[in-house]
Amino acid sequence: MNRQSKQAGFTLLEVIVALAILAAIAASVTQIFARGVETTLEVEKESYAYLLAESMLDELLLLEDVRQGAGSGQIDNSDYRYTVEVSEQDYPGEARAFELMHVQLTLSTAVMFGARIKTAGFTLLEMLLALALLSMLMLAVTQLMSQGAEVWSDSDRDIRAVENDKIAINFLRKMLLRAKPITWRQANEETGTRSKVFVGNDNELHFAAPLPVAGSEQRGIYLFSVLAQKTEQYKNKAMVVSYRRLDEESLAKTMENEPVSEVIMTDVDGLSFSYFGDKDYSDGTDKPIWQSDWDQVRDFPLAVKMSIQRSRFDADDPDAAERMAWDGLVFAILQRSLR
């Protein structure tokens, strides 16, 4: 007598429960990846705001009276609004001999850093219809996990890239603050002058400073050069800082010393510099202006403005994301006190 084996199927309730569990897992994974993207955007915004605030405060130092900078408005080429409040401070004792000001700078955007990405939920009917169209739900979840891992990788790459940019920009800011007013002992053959070691044009910058290490003052002064150029270890151009031991006798002898080059920022298409000052400074009556070059000038500029043009992460991939560009970063020069 032949018996037919009976295979029990799943009940409708069991199918709905299983699909609901898988849908909940997929929704949770999606939220995790969305939060990763959101965190990346927050880090980029906070880093940009931090450098923008430093740049604006350096610009305020260029005013004859810092109270002229009080006010509010929209920052050009950005989503940020600013508010500058300046108030006089009364300090006891010897500090009264100085006119001290308290400056408060506030940056804000239409969407604040703490904002969260809102995701709409799904109704039960929408989940059932969507899941019914997926013949292989587990394959879809696996694909989602793979894409999520890629999103996490890109987010981590973006965060590390922005932090590296901050390190490079702050390095330049500190080096320019340490710039020294060295003059050549031998006069320039063409002009007969002993100009200070601070020279720049619209895409290169050269200045003298000690090395950024402990005890650097005892190790002597070095001639630093900042420019964008092609290097052997990277496909794209990079921002390169080269330095060589400075010979106070002449530029020619300094250039005979072997240079050392360091890449401080990658994926840099080009650099743009401008200089705030008066080339013909004599009695301080002429107002300084922004200029595209600073050459054969006996004084330091009051400030340097730098813009960084960026390239894509992968030079061989036309669809690769572009790096964050930095526009109009201002660095104050301490040597303004020597003028």
Output the DSSP codes for 51-119: HHHHHHHHHHTTSSSGGGG-EEEEPTTSSEEEEEEEEE----GGGGGS--EEEEEEEEESS-TT-----
pLDDT tens column, 58-80: 888 788 787 888 888 888 777 78
pLDDT tens column, 113-165: 444 445 455 666 666 666 666 555 666 666 777 777 777 777 787 888 888 99
Those residues with Cβ within 8 angstroms of residue 67's Cβ, 6 or more apart along the chain or in another chain: 86, 101
Among candidate residues 32, 10, 292, the one with its CA nearest the CA of residue 152 = 32
Highest mean pLDDT among 101-105, 259-263, 317-321: 259-263
Q: Can you tell me the mean pLDDT for 18-46?
A: 72
Indicate the range of 80-94, 137-151, 182-196, 214-228 predicted with least confidence.
Answer: 182-196
What percentage of the chain has pLDDT greater than the value 90? 17
pLDDT greater than 50 at residue 338: no
Q: Could you tell me the pLDDT band of residue 233, with boundaries at 50, 70 and 90?
A: confident
Q: What pLDDT is stored for residue 205 in this prediction?
A: 93
Q: What pLDDT is stored for residue 221 in this prediction?
A: 86
What percentage of the chain has pLDDT greater than the value 70? 68
Q: Could you tell me which residue, 23 or 121, shows the higher pLDDT?
A: 23
Q: Could you tell me which residue, 112 or 328, shows the higher pLDDT?
A: 328
Q: What pLDDT is stored for residue 120 in this prediction?
A: 55
Half-sphere exposure of 333 (CA within 13 A, CB side): 21
Q: What pLDDT is stored for residue 195 in this prediction?
A: 53
CA dihedral sign of residues 223, 229, 232, 233: positive
Q: What pLDDT is stored for residue 151 in this prediction?
A: 75
pLDDT tens column, 83-121: 988 887 766 655 555 677 788 888 887 554 444 445 455
Rounded to an integer, what is the distance from CA 245 to the centroid of its chain? 29
Highest mean pLDDT among 143-147, 158-162, 295-299, 306-310: 306-310
Output the DSSP codes for 232-297: SS-SS-EEEEEEEE--TT-HHHHHTSPPEEEEEEESEEEEEEEEEE-TT-SSS-SPPEEES-B-S-
Largest CA distance in the chain: 120
Indicate the range of 51-60, 117-126, 173-182, 275-284 predicted with least confidence.
Answer: 117-126
Q: What pLDDT is stored for residue 170 in this prediction?
A: 92
Q: Could you tell me the pLDDT band of residue 242, with boundaries at 50, 70 and 90?
A: very high
Full-model pTM:
0.65
